[in-house]
Amino acid sequence: MITPDIRDLLSKAVDGDLTVAERKRVDQLLRESEPAAKLLQQLQRDAVRMRTLTPVVPPVNIASRVLAEIRDRQVSPTPTPPAPKSRPLNWSQITLWINVATAAGVLLTIGIGSYMYFAISHQAPTKLGEQQIAKGQTRPSKEVVNPQTLPSKSATNQIVEEPIPETLVVAPTPPTLVPSIEQGPQPRIHEENILAAPSEVMPEINAINITKHRISRFVNLAEVISTEAAHAKLQNDIKADLKTDELIRLDLFCRDPKAAMELLTSLLKSKGCQAITDKFLTDRLSKKPATEIVFFTDVMNPDEVFQLIQLLAKEEQKLGSRAGHLDTLVVAPFLPADLDVLGRILGVSSAFTKQLPKQKTPIDIRKPLPEGTANQLAQNLNKLASQSTLKKSKLVFVGSYSPINPLPSQSKEIKQYLEQRSDKRPDAKPLMLVLRTVN
């Protein structure tokens, strides 16, 4: 099988633009692989064919027409802009600017120094104050006794024999010296009550009203098949969501999109739908680069889509932790941007935008697509394959969502899908299901 890498290598070989290692690889390929040798031969032949294409001569003498146009339009070569004059250096100006720069530098230094001084002094007022207090404060010493308590020596000369009662008098501490702390600027008077309740200062934010605003619904697959009463409402809500929009958009997050794709394909087959997979996607998956996969079909009604989701959930439950392919399902509103993407994927942008019903009223975000979109879309798609006589079947197209196939018109699978898809049933809705990877 010729992989894209081999194809690239062979294309380089046509130009001889190969490194030594690549040359060896090509030689080996040519010996071992007949398809590779054939492809190289074809590419070389195509190059020769291009070089030998018959030259196409202009029907008229271009030179005379060009000269006539130049005269008529009075065109002339644009003059080149003059080179900027080099001026001699103005030393007096240079000196002036040097002086200005010096003065600015000095002022800046003074400013930074002042800022740092005040910042440091404000940073440790307690420490500084404590030190000063410690210095100024006189600790009451037990040894200090208020002289008033001691009997003073009387003027008399009588000798008092009674012992002088010793009483422990706690001398009042002398007033502490309050250090002079630099006073900072007065605090700004704030009129508003900053401790007010948030509701008094914050703008009011209205809660999202789910009935008015349609948002994506994140669903745990297990809940879709749960028989608990709590999950019954969820299941009904999902069914309602699927019926709301003209088209159904589902995103299914999974760890292995390829495995999820295979599972989904087999489940669709069990429901009588045949999957047609774009070769661009198949090639990408064989190389295992990160790919998101899209399933598109319009053969199922919303109830059948819900049953498909339930089947997926049951399979996931059966496989248990062994597979763990599927993660969260997102039921999202189908937006006009999704229509554009789908059109590009199938290479039929016009079918997805041409003659679709217009919004009569301003866009309702609960229903972004106008009524009748699904039916008109089906008609547009039918027109594309109106001349096909192939048998119609219930088909599902499987393609690459990211990246999109750059050449959808060259895809035989897309062509086959468009030509063989069956007519849309009245109750069916187009479904776009994207398999996304969980990081």
Partner 1 sequence: MNTDDRRLIANTLKGQQAAFGELVRRYQDRLYHAIFRVVDHPDDALDVVQEAFILAYQSLNHFKGDSEFFTWLYRIAFNAAISQKRRKKAAVSLDWSSDERSSIEPPDDSVDIRPGSAMERSEDEHILHHAIQQLPVEYRVVLILKELEGRKYEEIADILDVPIGTVRSRLHRARLELRNLLSTYEE
Residues of this chain that interact with partner 1 (CB under 8 A) are: 7-8, 11-12, 14-15, 17, 39, 42-43, 46-47, 49-51, 53-67, 69-71, 73, 75-80, 347-351, 354, 383-384, 406-407, 409-410, 415
**Matching residue, tokens 């339930």:** 310
Which of 318, 338, 336 lies closest to 433 in space, CA to CA? 338
Residue 39 vs 398, nearer CB to partner 1: 39
Residue 83 beta carbon to partner 1: minimum distance, rounded to whole angstroms: 13
- Shortest distance, CB of residue 261 to partner 1, whole angstroms? 24
Of 7 and 243, CB closest to partner 1: 7
For the bound state, the minimum distance from the C-beta of residue 338 to partner 1, rounded and expressed in Å, comes to 18
Strand segments, DSSP code E, in 230-338 are: 248-254, 274-277, 292-300, 326-332
The DSSP secondary-structure symbol of 244 reads H
Q: Which residue has the tokens 């271009």?
A: 62
Q: Which two tokens stand for residue 227?
A: 């028989």
Tokens of 37: 């040798």
Residue 76 or 321 with smaller CB distance to partner 1: 76
Consecutive H or E run containing 397: strand 395-402
For partner 1, the closer CB: 225 or 384: 384
What's the closest the beta carbon of residue 59 comes to partner 1, in angstroms? 5
β-bridge mates for residue 432, sequence order: 249, 296
| Residue 53 or 168 with smaller CB distance to partner 1 | 53
Shortest Cβ 390–partner 1 spacing (Å): 14
Q: Kindly report the CA angle at 139 between 134 and 144, in degrees rounded to 5?
A: 155
Please say which residue, 163 or 406, places its beta carbon nearer to partner 1: 406
Distance between CA atoms of 179 and 186, rounded to whole angstroms?
19
Strand order through the sheet with 326-332: 217-220, 326-332, 248-254, 429-437, 292-300, 395-402, 274-277
For residue 261, give both structure tokens.
């794709």
Residue 436, token pair as written in the block:
């996304």
Spatial CA neighbour of 432 closest among 341, 312, 328, 358: 341
Task: For partner 1, give the closer residue by CB, 5 or 423.
Answer: 5
Crossing angle of helices 20-32/34-51, nearest 10°? 110
If the CB atoms of residues 305 and 346 are measured against partner 1, the closer one turns out to be 346
> What whole-number distance in Å separates Cα of residue 292 and Cα of residue 52?
43
Nearer to partner 1 among residue 12 and residue 214 (C-beta): 12
Nearer to partner 1, 231 or 279 (CB): 279
Instruction: Give one word for 340, left, alpha or beta, with left for phi > 0 and alpha for psi -120 to 50.
Output: alpha
**Shortest distance (Å) from residue 100 CB to partner 1:** 41
Nearest to 316 by CA among 400, 380, 220: 220
* Cα-Cα-Cα-Cα dihedral sign, residues 281, 286, 289, 295: positive
User: What's the closest the beta carbon of residue 354 comes to partner 1, in angstroms?
Assistant: 8
